[in-house]
């Protein structure tokens, strides 16, 4: 097994600020915007972005939700292990809002496909965008691309991208792990 | 732990504590789902479920059917009264005929105890017992415990009395197993004629005085007198039964604490429970019905994920 640091804490911090600024550029005061962190890992990124937007850029009343896509996945009964669900907390109205999906790593695009279906259970958003910290290029199974990306990386299927957050892993660091 | 230890839900006695925990955690997610504007998830698109009801049922059948449809499963319904069972077909033949139409799961209610276990040994499908005679009714017991957990925070350490016709009740037996598995204390209360002999061997206490039982408990689960299963008289009159074992507002107000009232339905208003109690805030009867859909979704989802 070999591992390589893709991004260190300083680089993560710079990228988060850039992503926050890109969101402001498009959404200005966020009145018609709902940020949706995709469970389980997108929650941390969403929380971090909201923290930066509200503390550093003084944007108030950002609407945030967490969406679990387990019951919408297309690989039910196809793996060895059953799929474990996480909590969904969408206590905001998404009808006619600009929704931004937030997830840490974009790989095959299947999770995003499931999220696009799942969000419809809560209403019909005006538009949906995708923000992702790591975009694994050339690995997509579906025609899905991010609107905001932190870093684009070239990986092979056997490699794994691991995103660690200070809140639950004790460090802000992103690794590329090769199990071979 | 993210998988049930069983491939069928035949009774609570085949489950372990972790299974119940997993079912409850999964039901929490489904409870959120059924409160969304669109109450449906596509998980079980490729699963077909047959509901075989060899005995009458309204609530359980509707609840199962709704749970199946909320999970996007294909559903076929069958009632014994309109079927070839009356023409002399055996249970295995009936079920195998249905399974040959590529059905993955069977939800069955049957008047004979053990019908689910029997079926699970002879057919190749996941079986959910929706009540087998006076034996078990596992999903009812699960939703009862889930409702207690929702109202009182946890089941462990709670004192629950089951009042009424214990002898003919599958709800009572499944509830005793489920509550004990989760660390609750269980008492049964009713006329001696309606309490099975040797029930104390299950580790429950027996009480024939309702007031004493109510003063002891945190939760009272009121059962219906199952007249349709009685071939002889077990008590002199319904009126006398009500006087001894029916609960009313006055009785509840005389207790020094507020207890939670449950009822698996259907209610015989004015017999085991008066309307002012059934419709009071102490009663969680309608919560039980709502939780029933979430629990059944969880059970179906978890069992379906084990179908290969």
Q: Which domain covers residue A36, as residue numbers?
A: 8-156
Full DSSP string of B197-218:
TTGGGGT-EEE--HHHHHHH-S
Is A174 inside a domain boundary? Answer: no
Please give the average per-residue pLDDT across B117-139, as a whole number.
Answer: 93
CA nearest to A80 within chain B: B306
Q: Does A3 reside within a domain?
A: no
For A82, the closest of B2, B32, B33 (CB atoms) is B2
C-alpha B31/C-alpha A139 separation (Å) is 35
- pLDDT of the residue at B162: 97
**Inside any domain, residue A166:** no
pLDDT, tens only, B259-274: 999 999 899 999 999 9
Total domains, chain A: 1
The CATH class for the domain spanning B12-137+290-304 reads alpha beta
CATH number, domain containing residue A144: 3.40.50.2020
| Token duo for residue B35 | 């409160």
Q: Which residues contact B90 (CB under 8 A, 6 or more apart)?
A: none
Q: Does the beta-carbon distance from A77 to B36 stay under 8 Å?
A: no
Q: Is residue A1 part of a domain?
A: no
Q: B138-288 in CATH: which number? A: 3.40.50.1370
A70 touches B: beta carbon within 8 Å? yes
- In this prediction, the residues of chain A whose per-residue pLDDT falls under 70 are none
Over the stretch B144-174, which tens digit does the pLDDT of each residue have? Answer: 999 999 999 999 999 999 999 999 999 999 9
Residue A178 lies in a domain: no
Q: Which long-range contacts (CB under 8 A, 24 or more apart) does B282-287 make?
A: B282/B252, B282/B258, B284/B147, B284/B150, B284/B151, B284/B260, B285/B261, B287/B147, B287/B150, B287/B151
- Taking the Cβ of residue A8 and every Cβ of chain B, the question of whether any pair is shorter than 8 Å is answered with no
Provide the percentage of residues in chain B whose pLDDT is more than 90: 81
A165 touches B: beta carbon within 8 Å: no
pLDDT of residue B85: 67
CB contact under 8 A, A122 and B306: no
Please report the pLDDT score of residue B1 as a whole number.
52
Edge-to-edge strand ranges of the sheet holding B185-189: B205-207, B185-189, B159-163, B219-222, B260-262
Q: Once rounded to an integer, what is the mean pLDDT over residues B195-211?
A: 95
At B78 the pLDDT is 85
Nearest by CB to residue A71, choosing from B3, B43, B307, is: B43
For residues B77-102, one letter each, b for 16 or more C-beta atoms within 10 angstroms of the residue's C-beta and e for the rest, the string is ebbbeeeebeeeeebeebbeebbeee
Asked if the domains at B12-137+290-304 and B138-288 fall in one CATH topology, the answer is: yes
Tell me whether residues A121 and B33 touch, CB distance under 8 A. yes
Give the global pTM: 0.91
- Asked whether residue A118 is domain-assigned, the answer is yes
Q: Which residues of B touch A123 (CB under 8 A)?
A: 37
- The 3-state DSSP class for residue A80 equals coil
Question: Which residues in chain B are closer than 8 Å to A120, comparing Cβ atoms?
Answer: 38
Tell me, what's the pLDDT at B80?
A: 77
Residue A2 placed within a domain:
no
Confidence bin at B176 (pLDDT 50/70/90): very high
* Structural domain includes residue A129: yes
Q: How many CB pairs under 8 A join A and B?
A: 54
Q: How confident is the model at residue B50 (pLDDT cuts 50, 70, 90)?
A: very high
Summarize the confidence of residues B83-92 as an average pLDDT.
75
Q: Where are the domains of chain B?
A: 12-137+290-304, 138-288
For residue B207, give how far its alpha carbon lies from the nearest alpha carbon of chain A (Å).
42
């Amino acid at each position: 097994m070999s591992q390589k640091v893709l991004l260190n804490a300083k680089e993560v911090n710079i990228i988060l600020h850039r992503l926050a600024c890109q969101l402001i550029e498009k959404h200005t005061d966020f009145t018609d915007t709902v940020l949706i962190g995709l469970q389980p890992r997108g929650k941390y990124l969403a929380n971090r972005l909201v923290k930066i937007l509200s503390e550093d850029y003084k944007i108030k009343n950002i609407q945030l939700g967490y969406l679990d896509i387990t019951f919408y996945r297309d690989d039910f009964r196809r793996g060895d292990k059953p799929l474990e669900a996480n909590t969904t907390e969408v206590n905001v109205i998404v009808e006619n809002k600009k929704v931004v999906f937030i997830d840490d790593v974009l790989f095959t695009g299947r999770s995003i496909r499931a999220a696009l279906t799942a969000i419809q259970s809560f209403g019909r958003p005006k538009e949906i965008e995708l923000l992702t910290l790591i975009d694994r290029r050339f690995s997509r199974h579906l025609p899905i691309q991010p609107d905001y990306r932190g870093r684009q990386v070239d990986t092979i299927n056997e490699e794994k991208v691991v995103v660690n957050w200070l809140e639950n892993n004790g460090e802000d660091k992103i690794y590329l792990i090769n199990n071979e | 732990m993210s998988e049930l230890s069983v491939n069928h839900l035949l009774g609570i006695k085949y489950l372990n504590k972790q299974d119940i925990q997993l079912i409850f955690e999964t039901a929490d997610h489904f409870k959120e789902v059924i409160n969304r504007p669109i109450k449906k998830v596509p998980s079980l698109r490729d699963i077909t479920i047959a509901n075989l009801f060899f005995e009458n049922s309204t609530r359980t059948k509707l609840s199962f059917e709704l749970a199946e449809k909320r999970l996007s499963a294909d559903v076929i319904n069958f009632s014994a009264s309109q079927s070839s069972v009356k023409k002399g077909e055996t249970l295995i033949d009936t079920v195998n005929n249905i399974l040959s139409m590529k059905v993955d799961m069977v939800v069955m209610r049957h008047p004979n105890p053990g019908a689910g276990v029997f079926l699970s040994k002879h057919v190749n499908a996941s079986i959910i017992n929706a009540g087998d005679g006076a034996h078990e009714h596992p999903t009812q017991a699960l939703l009862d415990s889930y409702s207690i957990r929702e109202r009182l925070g946890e089941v462990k350490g709670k004192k629950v009395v089951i009042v009424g016709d214990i002898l003919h009740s599958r709800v009572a037996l499944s509830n005793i197993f489920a509550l004990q598995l989760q660390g609750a204390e269980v008492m049964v209360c009713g006329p001696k004629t309606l309490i099975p002999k040797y029930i104390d061997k299950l580790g429950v206490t027996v009480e024939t005085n309702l007031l004493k039982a109510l003063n002891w408990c945190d939760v009272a689960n009121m059962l219906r007198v199952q007249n349709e299963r009685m071939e002889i008289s077990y008590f002199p009159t319904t009126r006398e039964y009500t006087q001894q074992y029916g609960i009313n507002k006055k009785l509840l107000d005389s207790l020094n604490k507020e207890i939670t009232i449950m009822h698996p339905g259907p209610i015989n208003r004015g017999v085991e429970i008066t309307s002012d109690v059934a419709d009071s805030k102490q009663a969680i009867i309608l919560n039980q019905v709502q939780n029933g859909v979430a629990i059944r979704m969880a059970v179906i989802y978890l069992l379906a994920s084990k179908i290969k």
